[in-house]
A and B are shown apart, each in its own frame.
Chain A
């Protein structure tokens, strides 16, 4: 089946640093989504991307839908302690059967004050 390769698996950074993570796939997707999961909670949607080449921001977060439709990137600028969590990418092909949201394995972010 379809798989997403998300990297890095984990990051340990200093407060104030910028963060980059990415997802790649052997298949194309119609939609790329980025989620954040905090300890003890479910994933929460951060950014949704719908067009190849699209660049979307949400505060200090910026995500891009790769031009090949097989990858996506998430950047966090000037990290703060509350950015700690696990970030998941997800690819979606809608229009067909349901259950087509494919998740990466996550990037665990730790921020040192």
Chain B
């Protein structure tokens, strides 16, 4: 099925470990996004990439880095995980500057202990 694929679905990290969350879309969308979702906080934008080769900070970028590897793939890296980064992470993509809405992946549930 066409859409946004995220890996892994679940991950447990120890404080200080690093990891990369992977995201790929097959809808030929120009723009891609990383959100985190915490209880009662809704969806908060971490980083986004308006087009291949560009990335920009969102609302909560501290502690994260991103790479837009090509048009299909947008990865999120935690260099030194902290318990405050325990969350559910969603990748999304959009075309036409988002006018038709964003398509979301099914999420990565990350726990940092």
Q: Are B45 and A48 in contact (CB under 8 A)?
A: no
Knowing A105-B40, A105-B41, A105-B42, say if A94 contacts B106 (CB, 8 Å): no
- Which of B42, B49, B98 is in CB contact (< 8 Å) with A106? B42
Chain B contact residue count (CB 8 A cutoff): 29
Q: Are A45 and B101 in contact (CB under 8 A)?
A: yes
Interface string of B91-104 (1 = CB under 8 A from A): 01010111111111
Query: Is A67 interfacial (CB-CB < 8 Å)?
Result: no
Grouping DSSP codes into helix (H, G, I), strand (E, B) and loop, the A interface class, with mixed when no group exceeds half, is: loop
- Which of B50, B59, B104 is in CB contact (< 8 Å) with A43? B104
Knowing A42-B90, A99-B58, A103-B43, say if A33 contacts B50 (CB, 8 Å): no
Q: Are B101 and A48 in contact (CB under 8 A)?
A: yes
Chain A contact residue count (CB 8 A cutoff): 27
Q: Are B50 and A42 in contact (CB under 8 A)?
A: no
Query: Is A66 interfacial (CB-CB < 8 Å)?
Result: no
Query: Is A95 interfacial (CB-CB < 8 Å)?
Result: yes
Q: Are A41 and B107 in contact (CB under 8 A)?
A: yes
Tell me the B residues contacting A by CB distance below 8 Å.
4, 31, 33, 40-43, 45, 48-50, 56, 58-59, 90, 92, 94, 96-107
Extra 6 A-B pairs, beta carbons < 8 Å, given A40-B106, A97-B50, A103-B43 = A44-B104, A100-B98, A101-B33, A105-B40, A105-B42, A106-B42
